[in-house]
Structure 1
Amino acid sequence: MATKKKSTFSAVSRPSLAPWLGIAFLVILLDQITKIMITRLFTLGEEKPVTGFFNLVLAYNRGAAFSFLSDQGGWQRYFFTAIAVAAVGFILYLLRKNAGQRMFCWALALIMGGALGNLIDRLAYGHVIDFLDFHLAGVGHFPAFNIADSAICIGAFLFIVDELRRVNKN
């Protein structure tokens, strides 16, 4: 009587990267669609008040967050492009290694989508397109930003929350 031999190898199922790449893709898509719309509807510097604290405005940012280094001679475009490419590579590594950690991967996917959205702008136009302008009436304006920037900030917030949860478990 023959008996079936059990395999000593077991297939270990690793969580897929597909959901996280999908989230990043949706951020990029929403970011690029909104930037295309704003550039077709507005001229550079044009503002349209929406509420007492929010305007739509077409602005170009040659620097980084809050227009950091935007007044430099152009080298910053390549510097921030290199940083974005390196960050995306590192994020892909972390996603692959930790694909089963939901909040951590949500954070990374949002950050990666935002970084790639702004990278597309830098490569295509030499600057990032910003259009969301929040302000305090009569006090001043927060620097204009975009969907990619928003995704990066939300991702950073989720990353901090995830780390705080992890620290509190120990």
Structure 2
Amino acid sequence: MSKRLLLWAAAAAFALDQVSKYVVIYGMDLIDRGQIDLLPPLLVFRYGENRGINFGLFQGETDLTRWFLIGLSLIICTIAIVWLRRIRATPAMLICGGFLVGGALGNVLDRLVYGYVLDFLNMSCCGIRNPYVFNVADIFIFAGAIGLVLLDGKKGG
């Protein structure tokens, strides 16, 4: 399978992330409404500006933090792409790598344009209230990273 699969998966993840942010935050006016209850508490749209990484870690209001996180994301994307090009990556690994890269680049674009990552998804269940918001890019990053770990054929055994 062609390494172009990585590019297509990255482009799809990036596009879905950016379109979802635009539709929910601006099209549904979440930026002014603050919260939209879709299937509460399971699915709630809640506006968030993330200046750190997932779950509010490394929150920072400074440009130094912003540019550090942009640089870190670009380094991780580069490492993932180089690694996948050097190994015998399966099509599933290329898709997972593309998801990781596309999601990371979606959040990088947010940081470049807004100075923070736009978040809007909140999910809670079973009496446990989740205080965190995330976005579609975060889903792709997580799924891609987990997929790469699970699909890496170099595990000992």
2:58 counterpart SS class: coil
Cα pair 1:109 1:155 within 8 Å, conserved? yes
Match of 1:51 among 24, 39, 42: 39
**1:78 alignment counterpart:** 67
Q: How does 1:10-159 map to 2 (within 5 A)?
A: 16-40=2-26, 41-43=29-31, 46-52=34-40, 53-98=42-87, 100-136=89-125, 139-159=128-148
Percent identical pairs in the alignment equals 25
Work out the CA distance in 1 between the residues paired with 2:87 and 2:76.
16
Aligned AA (1:43): I
Aligned AA (1:114): G
Number of matched residues? 154
Query: Please, which runs of 5 or more residues in structure 1 have no aligned partner?
Result: 1-14
2:134 counterpart SS class: coil
TM-score, with structure 1 as normaliser:
0.81
TM-score, with structure 2 as normaliser:
0.87
Residue-by-residue CA offset, 1:43-100 (whole Å, 9 max, x unaligned): 2571111113210112111111111122443321011000011112112212322364
Matched, 1:161 2:139: no
1:16 counterpart SS class: coil
Work out the CA distance in 1 between the residues paired with 2:137 and 2:90.
23
